[in-house]
Every structure is written in structure tokens, then in C-alpha cells.
Amino acid sequence: MNKRTQAIVVAAVVIGTLGFVAYGMLTLFVDPYVSVDAVVENPDAYMNRKIQLKGNYLANSLAITSDNVTLVMYGEQYNITVVITGEVPNLQADQELVAIGFLQSAKVIIAEEILAQCPSKYETNSTTTTG
């Protein structure tokens, strides 16, 4: 093998290795959005990992006690309890949420942050013009 071919092979191996390591590091710390159903069906895959749990807010499930703040998120088949350690956004029934945190059990996630879809972003403008 000549020097140019060797350099190309070495560069390809180094780039491939760096890409593999970067991908592994990203998935090690945060999974992309994971549904409530996927987590409840296979909790062992998500234990001890920071996840972004995507689901909908179950109306009137917000509970504030002296010990903690919880709410329930639902998917197509399952529910999961979210224990919130950060701020609680304004919530509306069936609003899409993302809970960022660590899975404590198959049915409980400890969330550092709750992201809520802004419903006003999707509402039509009711202002009318007169001519």
C-alpha cells in the first residue's frame, strides 16, 4: 500500500471512530423524545439515563403537596406519574408535554424540567378587519 492509500484509510478510520464515539456520547446522556408508552413497556432500557419523555397532560392531575409537585402524563395506552423538581408551566387539558429527567420506576419519572407546547402558537387569529 502506498502512503496516500494508507493516509486515506487512517483518516477514514479516525473519522468513523469519532462519529461513533460522538453518537454514543449523545445517546448516553439524553435520548431523543421517548413516548410514555415506550418507557412503560420497556423501562429497563431507560433506567439511570436522562430522557425526554413525551406525552400529554392528564387534565386535573396536577397535585401540589408539602412534599412534592406531581402530574400525570399519558400516551396511547399508558400513564406515567411525573414528579417535578423544577418550575411548573401553565397547563391545559391534553396539552403536549416533554418531561426531562430520570426514570425512577416503570411508572414514575423525576423531572428537572417540563416543556409545554404553547397552544396560542397554533390558534387562529380572531381579529377581523372592516372595509
Q: Say if residue 20's pLDDT is above 80.
A: no
CA-closest candidate to residue 73, choices 45, 46, 103: 103
DSSP state of 30: B
- Weakest-pLDDT range from 21-25, 88-92, 125-129: 125-129
Cell of 22: 460522538
Report how far residue 11's alpha carbon sits from residue 116's, in angstroms, rounded to the nearest whole number.
Answer: 44
- Using 50, 70 and 90 to split pLDDT, how confident is the model at 1? confident
- Mind listing the pLDDT tens digit for each residue in 98-126? 999 999 999 999 999 999 876 554 444 44
The pTM of the full predicted model, rounded to 2 decimals, is 0.67
Say what percent of the chain tops pLDDT 90.
Answer: 51
Phi, psi torsion values for 93, nearest 5 degrees: -55, 135
Radius of gyration of the chain (CA): 22
